[in-house]
Amino acid sequence: MLFEQLSLIEPILSALKEEGYTTPTPIQEQAIPIILEGKDLLGCAQTGTGKTAAFAIPVLQLLCKAKLTGQPQKGGIKALILTPTRELAIQIEESFAAYGRNLGLKQLVIFGGVSQHAQTIALRKGVDILIATPGRLLDLIQQKFIRLSDVEFFVLDEADRMLDMGFIHDVKKVITLLPTKKQTLFFSATMPPEISKLASSILHNPSKVEVTPISSTAETIQQAVYFVEKENKKLLLSHLLKDAAIKSALVFTRTKHGADKVVKDLHRGGVKAEAIHGNKSQNARQRALTNFKSGETRVLVATDIAARGIDVDDLTHVINFELPNVPETYVHRIGRTGRAGASGIAFSFCDAEEKEFLRDIQKLISIPVPVVTDHPYAMSNTSLNSIPSVKQKPVQRHHQGGERRSFRGGDSRRYAGNQSAKRG
């Protein structure tokens, strides 16, 4: 299947070619025709499956076709994309700009944590497509800078994360302000009861698309676990980072304080690292992400909520400094490397208190994670005996092979044999 076979208009196909994309991902192949038919869509997909392009491309085409056919055009916002994090909102806007570069449509991203001045100036000039986080959107609606009465397409992205982050009430407020007649596209990696109920309340006879079950981990990702005492984790991290094969590493901690502490420890060892979490200002978060993407910063230390939706080109390693207490989160974390057919490596540090977390993770992914035993901070046999049911399969340290050539945009990858649009 090629993008040419999805009945896309030439200006969009031309933009996709400029981006280097020829082959749609499974969710794009399934979702684009459904959306182009004007149907509501329920998409069960996580970040990294190409879901951003799956909704951005057909929404752009439908907006453009309405313009070209001479249909009466409303002056307000025609498409609203609601997303939980600032970083993901920025990447979605980049995707719309890339795929719609030949269409003459105007898109804008708005989010909190920064001055609203530039955003309100752009709104006054007129916007076709608005990408927003819930808080800033409601704030600007209240100030009369935004009205949603002309919205024809509504995309709710990462609905489950909206729930996790406490935004679900804001989302429901936004929904009450939207026109009854519209096309709704609903995306969520998981479907807890409250999200399922919300989907049922706003979707009308939706078609369902489901890809990459949450329990699966990419075959291209080499996984390994290091058993290590809690107090030795920082030493183990510094030891691993002496290896030049780790060109970039996204390190996960469970808490904001933990992220800051890891950064301080790395700085003492001469490693350029920055933290990204909810206590950081938007400018600091964006600067840290930009530095990491450009390679100026080698290590980005993040909490799960702050990192959701962040996609970085050429990410070679994900390191779980602390194992997550929710096994699905492990899948989300390591899925940030090894995308689009490229190889990637995920290391996890496990202390005695985290043995239950590891057990739950292995149960979810249905495979034992190989254990690295040849490192200077290996846990004592006595401590290991307290971790039953974890199969010890010794492995040697392994490093990523192959070359990754990347280009502009969130989760875009160019690779031999199958060039796909995987943004978000």
Task: Answer yes or no: do 154 and 261 share one domain.
Answer: no
Within 166-310, residue ranges assigned H as helices are: 168-176, 193-202, 233-240, 256-268, 282-294, 304-307
Total structural domains in the chain?
2
Q: How confident is the model at residue 164 (pLDDT cuts 50, 70, 90)?
A: confident
Contact assessment for residue 35 and residue 208, using Cβ atoms and an 8 Å cutoff = no
- 243 and 169 within one domain: no
* Average model confidence (pLDDT) across the chain: 84
Q: pLDDT per residue over 181-232, tens digit each? A: 999 999 998 888 899 999 999 999 999 998 866 566 666 789 999 999 999 9
Asked whether residue 234 falls in the same domain as residue 152, the answer is: no
Same domain, 205 and 240: no
pLDDT tens sequence across 89-146: 988 998 999 999 999 999 999 999 889 999 999 999 999 999 999 999 999 999 999 9
Percent of the chain having pLDDT more than 70?
Answer: 82
End of a domain among 157, 181, 210? 210
413 within domain boundaries: no
Name every residue whose Cβ is closer than 8 Å to that of residue 227 and which is 6 or more positions away in sequence: 350, 351, 371, 378, 379, 383, 384, 387
The residue out of 210, 238, 268 marking a domain boundary is 210
Question: Is residue 415 included in any domain, yes or no?
Answer: no
Q: Phi first, then psi: give them for residue 132, nearest 5 degrees.
A: -145, 155
pLDDT of 277 strictly over 90? no
Tell me: do 90 and 119 sit in the same domain: yes
Identify the domain containing residue 206 by its residue range: 3-210
pLDDT band at residue 406 under the 50/70/90 scheme: very low
Q: Kind of pairing, strands 41-44 and 207-210?
A: parallel
CATH assignment of the domain containing 194:
3.40.50.300
> Has residue 65 been placed in a domain?
yes
Task: Flag whether 412 is in a domain.
Answer: no
**pTM metric for this prediction:** 0.63
Cα–Cα distance, 30 to 38 (Å, whole number):
14
Mean pLDDT of 39-64: 90
Question: Is the domain of 247 the same as that of 195?
Answer: no
- Are 241 and 193 in the same domain? no
Question: What is the per-residue pLDDT across 228-246, written as a single tens digit (0 to 9) for each?
Answer: 999 999 999 999 999 999 9
361 lies in the same domain as 242: yes
Low-confidence winner among 164-168, 203-207, 379-383 (lowest mean pLDDT):
379-383
Domain boundary among the residues 178, 210, 242 is at 210
What is the structure's pLDDT at 87? 79
Q: Are residues 205 and 73 in the same domain?
A: yes
233 and 199 in one domain? no
Q: What is the 3-state secondary structure (H, E, C) of 223-248?
A: EEEEEECHHHHHHHHHHHCCCCCCCC
Both structure tokens of 89: 């909102």
Span 352-372, average pLDDT: 90
